[in-house]
Structure 1
């Protein structure tokens, strides 16, 4: 049996989670869309992981992934695509909006559909602070992330006793920021001054949160906020 399948784990938070689980002696498989990034992840983790190419926006890819995996104890989903979805709703292309919904929400639903009968312990999704603090430039992302909570509640009932939860990070220093065309460091410094935690999150912070819900057998249908207090600012 595979101990953990991380979908979208070839960089950022998913890669940090893989590193953490490997340190605990777990057997880890990473799934992602990019063969190049999967190869880079294997190299960084010195070949200690297995990898498989899969696009969770494609139903057949998800079906094939779980058929290939067989039983898996924990599934963590960190896949995200922010390409072209930030800006006023009137300025965001419908195709870009559909793409983020396909990955973030329908992809998550497909994972729940095909994980049934394969996952034995927990299924954990990744939401985000924009679901709870939309700022006028991330509306479709906020909608997709917010819907993950309801999806998890439903799947927690359907898949029980498998536990289904959501990790909701705040601002975390990951490669996805490089897609947004902004002065990342200036934005991080400004927000850190306002956060109760007084800093931006790290991928390792989020990995620790994933591990906590994987291990606690009495947590299900829960959104765990790991945002440095961002919801209060």
Structure 2
């Protein structure tokens, strides 16, 4: 049975991906920092025969090494983990420690996963970039830099780790719990305003992104690529 590790699988896009994979008779391990959220996700998914959980902070190499030793050889690895709580500040007010934390989660964490993962030849590692690499807004300087660097990392690792395939999915605005942090009570208003701008006419859903991840996994001729799933955000 195919075994997929989803780091960031306890909520949002990662949780949706885990559900899609389990519905296709895939063995799935979801991992994240919060044991409580992992337990809640496992209860929600309800597949104790094919679902496992693992606690990890991907900015800590010892924890990444421990998780990937426990999972053994994998067919696919997906990293959706993100911590957006302190990712947006005007550059004049951006605390250096917060900037380093963003880079740790979005860039160095995925790099550590690629460093320690054991993936079958022809299998894949897929990271999560974001539209900020291409259409950054005010306050997104570090997030834009991290996503842009992550996409460069994808190309480098696709060469270095071949025949393991390395790609990224780049979402736009997606209705996930991250927006509860970023927008608070103004979440619905902000998402509606963006939906009105997008050629697709709506905000993305976690299922939209989950389908993109599964497409990347299934396409054995895709490596070193970034799949943009953002409703046309780069065009407006």
If the TM-score is normalised by the length of the shorter chain, which range does it land in? over 0.9
TM-score, length-scaled by structure 1: 0.97
CA distance in 2, matches of 1:177, 1:141: 15
Q: CA RMSD in A?
A: 1.1
Q: Deviations over 1:160-182 (max 9, x none)?
A: 01100000000000001111144
2:194 to 181, 191, 194: 191
Q: Deviations over 1:155-210 (max 9, x none)?
A: 11111011000000000000011111441111111111111100000000000000
Contact 2:87 2:98 in 1 (8 A): yes
CA distance in 2, matches of 1:151, 1:101: 13
Contact 2:170 2:229 in 1 (8 A): yes
**Structure 2 residue 95 is matched with structure 1 residue 93:** yes
1:51 to 46, 53, 69: 53
Q: Could you say if the C-alpha distance between residues 119 and 88 of structure 1 is closer, same or farther in structure 2, counting changes exceeding 3 Å?
A: farther
Q: 1:37 is matched with which residue?
A: 37
Contact 2:183 2:190 in 1 (8 A): no
State the SS of the aligned residue for 1:179.
helix
Q: 1:21 is matched with which residue?
A: 21
Q: 2:226 is matched with which residue?
A: 223
Runs of 4+ in structure 1 deviating by more than 6 angstroms, as ranges, are none
1:216 positional shift: 0.5
Aligned residue runs from structure 1 range 197-216, under 5 A: 197-216=200-219
Q: 1:170 is matched with which residue?
A: 172
Count residues with an aligned counterpart.
232
1:2 positional shift: 5.6
1:85 positional shift: 2.0
CA distance in 2, matches of 1:144, 1:180: 18
Contact 1:2 1:71 in 2 (8 A): no
CA distance in 2, matches of 1:119, 1:88: 43
